[in-house]
Amino acid sequence: MSLHTSLHFLIAEFLIFLYLWGKEKNILDNKNSLKNYCKNISYLRKKYELSIEEMAFIMGVSTRAIKRIEAGELPKRSNAKEVIRLALIFQYKSEELFQKDLQEKENENMTCNQTSNRAKETSSQ
């Protein structure tokens, strides 16, 4: 990675951190946000069939931290870098990892798509 790319990445990280901080100053005190974050890490790991070791590598944390997160405990020291890595790699907005239950959201989208497809099939017959 070039120095130029690294600098852009650091600036992007900082801006996302500021955005999250301004939007949800007490995000770490919000129990629903923390539950969603923990659920979403577990969901993404299973969806993409990643081992605990692979997810730990992606996030830059220990396997023990992943196990704790999946058990519903947020590590004592969590940082914006972990959130940014997840958002970039799995192509979600950073705030979605806290604000939404991704599995529930994707199940709703799937149900809507199936209903839409059935309606199209019925109207074409």
* Averaged pLDDT, 6-25: 63
pTM of model > 0.85:
no
Burial of 83 (0-12, 13-18, 19+ CB in 10 A): buried
Per residue in 35-73, pLDDT (tens digit) is 888 999 999 999 999 999 999 999 988 999 999 999 988
Whole-angstrom Cα distance, residue 69 to residue 9?
25
Q: pLDDT tens digits, residue range 91-118?
A: 888 888 888 889 887 787 677 766 666 6
Specify the fold of 3-124: 434 Repressor (Amino-terminal Domain) (1.10.260)
Structural tokens at position 34: 């923390």
Q: How confident is the model at residue 5 (pLDDT cuts 50, 70, 90)?
A: low
Comparing CA positions, the residue from 85, 83, 115 lying closest to residue 98 is 83
* Rg of the chain taking only CA atoms, in angstroms: 17
Domain ranges of the chain: 3-124
Whether 23 shows a pLDDT value over 80: the answer reads no
83 half-sphere exposure, CB direction, 13 A CA radius: 30
Q: What is the pLDDT of residue 57?
A: 93
The pLDDT, as a whole number, for residue 6 is 66
